[in-house]
Amino acid sequence: MTAEYPNASQYKDRHGVTRWRFRRNGKQRSLPGQPGDPDFERAYEDAAAGFGGKKTEIVPLPGASLPESFGAAWKGVVTTSAWKAHDAATKSKNTYLAEMWLHSQVAPGVAALWKDMPVRDMRRRHLKALISQYSDTPHKAKHLVVTIRKMLEYALDQEWIEIDPSYKLKHRPDYKGWRAWKVGEIEKFEERWPIGTTPRLAYSIALWLGNRREDVATLRWDQQCVRTIIQNGEARRVEGFTVEQGKGDGGELFLPISPMLAEVLDATERRGETVLVNAYGNPFSIKSMTGMMAHWTKMAGMGPGCTLHGLRKTLGKLMAEGGATTRQLMKVLGHENIEHAELYSREAEQALLATEGMDKVTTLMSGRKKRG
């Protein structure tokens, strides 16, 4: 041992060659070469730093994300203006799906999580496998892909990737969503729940205003107003509700009160700020509306499929069958995308044209029969 190299000492091996070693706390390590050699100096410093001292523990910070990973991308998503413009329900749904996926394993038996994976490693096959994994719940698969796509779009904006692997990826369910109510179902519900009952009021708001679930639950009496519109060159005063959409573009809509809805509202006692209140005089929670409508339809002896959102589709279908334009449909239902509103128009047009076409065939055959 020398003063210049504490804990280092020399010895002779079995071949009589002089060698150096580092010894401390009962542990030893061989040192290459002789003092002054670069390899010796480096090995001595490593030994002095590694023996006897407490090994530094690496503790990841809570919520820490690796650079350019999906975890980092999600952190970026929630800071964007597009995210801040979403309603609370959309944020909650997307956050739940994102956290669920980010903390899931990349593959069965693999410890790595998606949150730590670099975005650049995502491939189209990964997304297709994810969709296949949720084949029994296709709507969940659709919403999850939409959530992941937000991270991919953020990564594109940050130039972490150059290509979006989800581009034109088919992720929508193959079957239609909530369907419109049938005529017989409407009649059955109205027979069970007459005007003056809470179920009839909720049903009427959803049907005759075309409101979404959150707008049905939060509709207030002070939103009722009268607008003057110019129609065919003449002024006309129209009573309606001014609704600030919870979804869509978040814009304000003026929705006229039809005679069908007016009849129900006139029979409704005002017991709170909101039009719709429960037995205690309090507003219904937004989430409870779905379950309540399922309960009311069941009590009316109706089968599954008659949903609150289906009433909104029923109004769109009735408007299209009545000859409303696509733009009129968009303004009532608050659709941003013209293709969404055209679904109602195309369905009504197809039925009308098909009926008119078959009428012509019937007329032709009737004429031949008479001549025969």
Residues 229, 343, single domain; the answer is: yes
The mean pLDDT value for 156-176 works out to 79
Residues 42, 110, single domain; the answer is: no
Residues 344, 240, single domain; the answer is: yes
What radius of gyration, in Å, describes the C-alpha atoms of the chain?
35
Residues 244, 134, single domain; the answer is: no
Vertex 243 angle, CA 238 and 247, to 5°: 145
Instruction: Give 52's pLDDT tier (boundaries 50, 70, 90).
Output: very low
| Cβ 237 vs Cβ 228: under 8 Å | yes
The mean pLDDT value for 35-59 works out to 71
Residues 34, 114, single domain; the answer is: no
Residues 243, 320, single domain; the answer is: yes
Distances (CA, A) of 130 to 84, 314, 325: 27, 33, 39
Could you tell me if residue 70 is inside a domain? Answer: no
Cα gap 85→120, rounded to integer Å? 27
Distances (CA, A) of 102 to 11, 89, 121, 127, 326: 56, 20, 14, 13, 40
CATH code of 263's domain: 1.10.443.10
Cα gap 206→313, rounded to integer Å? 10
Distances (CA, A) of 350 to 318, 321, 326, 332, 347: 14, 10, 14, 22, 5
Residues 97, 41, single domain; the answer is: no
Helix (H) or strand (E) holding 31: strand 27-31
Q: What is the pLDDT of residue 176?
A: 53
Helix (H) or strand (E) holding 29: strand 27-31
Cα gap 77→171, rounded to integer Å? 21
Q: How many domains is the chain built from? A: 3
pLDDT tens per residue, range 295-326? 999 999 998 889 998 898 888 888 888 887 77
Kindly state the tokens that stand for 254.
């003026």
Could you give phi then psi for residue 244, rounded to 5 degrees? -95, 115
* Residue 227 domain boundaries: 183-350
Cα gap 273→228, rounded to integer Å? 25
pLDDT tens per residue, range 86-95? 878 788 889 9
Instruction: Give 53's pLDDT tier (boundaries 50, 70, 90).
Output: very low
Last residue of a domain, one of 141, 157, 173: 157
Residue labelled with tokens 């992720």: 171
Could you tell me if residue 360 is inside a domain? Answer: no
Query: Could you tell me which of 128, 179, 163 has the C-alpha nearest to residue 311?
Result: 179
Residues 221, 127, single domain; the answer is: no
Vertex 28 angle, CA 27 and 32, to 5°: 160
Contact residues for 346 (Cβ-Cβ < 8 A; gap 6+):
none
**Bridge partner list, 256:** 240
Residues 291, 193, single domain; the answer is: yes
Could you tell me if residue 56 is inside a domain? Answer: no
Could you tell me if residue 321 is inside a domain? Answer: yes
Distances (CA, A) of 322 to 32, 129, 172, 187: 93, 44, 30, 19
| Cβ 4 vs Cβ 35: under 8 Å | yes
Contact residues for 82 (Cβ-Cβ < 8 A; gap 6+):
none
Residues 201, 239, single domain; the answer is: yes
| Cβ 98 vs Cβ 70: under 8 Å | no
| Cβ 206 vs Cβ 199: under 8 Å | no
Could you tell me if residue 270 is inside a domain? Answer: yes
Cα gap 295→202, rounded to integer Å? 13
Is the pLDDT score of 197 beyond 90? yes
Is the pLDDT score of 184 beyond 90? yes
Residue labelled with tokens 């997304």: 127
Residues 269, 136, single domain; the answer is: no
**Bridge partner list, 69:** 118
Could you tell me if residue 2 is inside a domain? Answer: no
Residues 216, 123, single domain; the answer is: no
Instruction: Give 236's pLDDT tier (boundaries 50, 70, 90).
Output: confident
Q: What is the pLDDT of residue 295?
A: 94
- pTM of the shown model: 0.55
Could you tell me if residue 163 is inside a domain? Answer: no
Could you tell me if residue 67 is inside a domain? Answer: no
